[in-house]
Amino acid sequence: MLWPDVPRVGFGPDEPHHLDACVGWMQSRPRDMEGYVAGYRRAAVALFRAAEAGDGSPDYFVFPLAFLWRHHLELALKDVIATGRAVAGDEWGFPAHHRLIDLWREARPHVAQCGDPAAPELANVEANLREFEGIDPGSDAFRYPLNRDRTDRSLSNAPEHVNLRALHIAMEALANFLSAVRSELGCRLDFNMQAEAEMQRAHDQNE
C-alpha cells in the first residue's frame, strides 16, 4: 500500500513517459475548449466501461460518472455559446454560472442556425438537460453528500435507482449532438475568418 513516507512530486513528468500528459497545448490556445470538453467525456466513457466490466459497485461509480457527464454538458454548451457568439460577430465568451437550462436557452439560437429549428432533437436535448438540472441544479450534488447550506442530503430529487447504462447512453446522445453543433459552428467561424482575411488582403493591395 502506498504511503506518504517519502517526499513525492505529484505534478510533473516521470516514468513511464507515455503517461506524461501535456498541459501546455491547451494553455497555448486560450479560446480552444476541446481538451476540457473532450477530456471529461473520455473520462466518463472510461469510467462507464470500468463499471460495465464489473470493476466496482455502481453504487460508487454513479457519483463521479454523473458529475463527469454533467460537467461535459456544461462545457459543451459554453463552447457552443462562445463559438456562436464569435460567428455572430460578437465577443467570444460564455456565462460563468453552472445552470444547464440557462446555458441551453442561450445556446439554442446558435443550435437552431445549424439545422431545422423545429427538429425533435432540440426538445429531446432540453428534456435531458431539465432532468439533469432538476437533480443537480448547481453542479455540486454529485460531488458532495450535503447541499450547499449543509442542512440536508444532496440529490434529494434523484430517483432511488439510476441505471448507469441508461444514463451513459442518454449522455452519449447529447454529447454527439452538441459536438455536431460545435463542429458546424466551427466551420462557419473558420469561413468567416478566412473571408475577413481575404477582404483585408484585397484592401491592403488596393492601398
Residuewise pLDDT in 10s, the chain (207 residues): 999 999 999 999 999 999 999 998 888 888 899 999 999 999 999 999 999 999 999 999 999 999 999 999 999 999 999 999 999 999 999 999 999 999 999 999 999 999 998 999 999 999 999 999 999 999 999 999 998 888 999 999 999 999 999 999 999 999 999 999 999 999 999 998 888 778 778 777 777
d(CA 153, CA 5): 36
Q: Are the beta carbons of 18 and 145 closer than 8 angstroms?
A: no
Residue 175: CB partners within 8 Å, gap ≥ 6?
41, 69, 72, 73, 76
Angstrom distance (rounded) from CA 190 to CA 122: 25
- Tell me how far apart the alpha carbons of residues 31 and 196 are, in angstroms, rounded to a whole number: 19
Sign of CA dihedral 131, 132, 138, 140: positive
- Cα-flanking dihedrals φ and ψ of residue 4, to 5°? -75, 55
How high is the pLDDT of residue 2? 94
Residue with cell 442556425: 113
State the Cα–Cα distance between residues 44 and 53, nearest whole angstrom. 14
Q: What is the pLDDT of residue 77?
A: 98
- Output the nine-digit C-alpha cell for 69: 457527464
| Coil, strand or helix at 108 | helix
pLDDT at 28: 86
DSSP class of residue 43 equals H
* Residue among 2, 25, 22, 26 nearest 12 (CA): 22
pTM, two decimals, is 0.92
Residue type, 153: R
